[in-house]
Amino acid sequence: MSVLIFIDHAEEQIKKASLEAISYGVKIAQQTGTTAEGIVLGNLTDDLAVLGKYGVQKIHHAADANLDHLDAQQYTAAIAQLAQSINADVIVFSNNTTGKAIAPRLSAKLKAGLVSGAVALPDTTNGFTVKKNVFSGKAFANITITTPVKIIALSPNAYKIEEVGGSTELVTYTPTLAASKVKVISSTKASGEIPLAEAEIVVSGGRGLKGPENWGIVEDLAKVLHAGLACSRPVADAHWRPHNEHVGQTGGAIAPNLYIAIGISGAIQHLAGVNRSKVIVVINKDAEAPFFKAADYGIVGDAFEVVPKLTAAINKLKGA
């Protein structure tokens, strides 16, 4: 019996979403009275021993160059072998791009029920039930996993990272792998400096900004807030901004602490992707924009005047 946490890394570093998955998995282990172990695939420069402070007791590291690139088939095989050998009954992923590629495969391989996009700890009072968002954030569902082994893919920004203290034992793990059928030719880093799904603050622009040449004020605001950049669907469709910045029902779903929407009317499809944000600020010159109904704070005004003032005011606050 144990909880196995898949610890993802990008650019050879452990990212925030993985720390959230670790804290979440460690909490489940505490709740169910078992140990929390981690698995890391591929080479990385980050020191894995420091992860002990988050409460993970053992980390199995397969520093195999064949695992440096994501091949869902190989990753699944590697995780399944370990899960079976340590008798893991709960396996935790982050529901990030890597988790989305592997967790369903593992679910089918192990015949282990999967809840993807979990937003809370499992309720184990009567079975094993996990809350997740459905209808793109317009509702939630409590899903009961009915199999002995359970897989949870945790929504980014849904669980707080906790340092509980402790140390971790690092062990070398050597899975048996078939030759990879996926050959990675090249990779490029996303344009934004802060990954959107992980950003605590997101600044988002819509058609109200009139054209891509006007994004400077949005970027300036994002910069002072160390925020991620997002946009509405019409903006991405018009190629004003890259597709990976599109948030909404058919784009990405995000749940930052603070979401600032500039020149976005707030169609129901857009709201679906952002309504899990803790605080929503809307800046729009149209007082009738539906977004104001879903907002916590709002300014009815011209974005081209308000946004630079807001940037200056935040700069002043940060300087104080």
Partner 1 sequence: MKILVCISKTPDTTAKIAFTDSNTKFDTNGVQWIINPSDEWYALVRAVELKEKDPSTVLHLISVGQADTDPIIRKALALGGDEAIRVNADSHDSFYIASQIAAVAKEGGYDLVFTGKETIDYNGSSIGGMVAELLDQPYIALATKFELNGVQASISREIEGGEEVAEVTLPLVLSASKGLAEQRIPNMKGIMGARTKPLKVVEPVAVDTLTTISSFGLPPAKAGVKLVDADNVDELVRLLHEEAKAI
Considering only residues 32-91, where is the footprint of partner 1 by CB under 8 A? Answer: 69-73, 76
* Closer residue to partner 1, CB minimum distance, 4 or 115: 115
Give residues with Cβ within 8 angstroms of 195, minimum separation 6: 15, 228
Site string (245-274) toward partner 1, x via CB under 8 A: -x--xxx-x---xx---------xx--x--
CB of 31 to partner 1, least distance (A): 19
CB distance 176 to 84 below 8 Å? no
CB of 260 to partner 1, least distance (A): 9
How big is the site for partner 1, counted in residues (CB under 8 A)? Answer: 101
Handedness of CA 15, 148, 110, 169 (dihedral sign): positive
* Closer residue to partner 1, CB minimum distance, 55 or 264: 264
Options 36-44, 158-166, 175-183, 214-222: segment touching partner 1 (CB under 8 A): 175-183
CB distance 135 to 272 below 8 Å? yes
40: helix, coil or strand? strand
Does 206 sit near partner 1 (CB under 8 A)?
no
CB distance 313 to 299 below 8 Å? no
Using CA atoms in the order 293, 294, 296, 301, what is the torsion angle rounded to 10 degrees?
A: -60
In sequence order, what DSSP letters do the residues of 48-104 get, joined into one string? GGGGGGGT--EEEEE--GGGSS--HHHHHHHHHHHHHHTTEEEEEEESSHHHHHHHH
CB of 44 to partner 1, least distance (A): 12
Handedness of CA 117, 120, 122, 123 (dihedral sign): negative
Q: ∠ CA(190), CA(246), CA(187), 5° rounding?
A: 20
Among 164, 171, 182, 238, binds partner 1 (CB under 8 A): 182
Options 81-89, 158-166, 204-212, 301-309: segment touching partner 1 (CB under 8 A): 301-309
Site string (121-160) toward partner 1, x via CB under 8 A: --------x--xxxxxxxxxxxxxxxx-------------
**The token pair that represents 292 in the structure block:** 């104001």
Options 38-46, 100-108, 163-171, 204-212: segment touching partner 1 (CB under 8 A): 100-108
Q: Between residue 102 and residue 121, which ones bind partner 1 under the rule CB under 8 A?
A: 102-109, 111-117
CB of 200 to partner 1, least distance (A): 9
Q: Which residue is listed with tokens 């707080």?
A: 160
Q: Between residue 1 and residue 30, which ones bind partner 1 under the rule CB under 8 A?
A: 8, 10-11, 15, 17
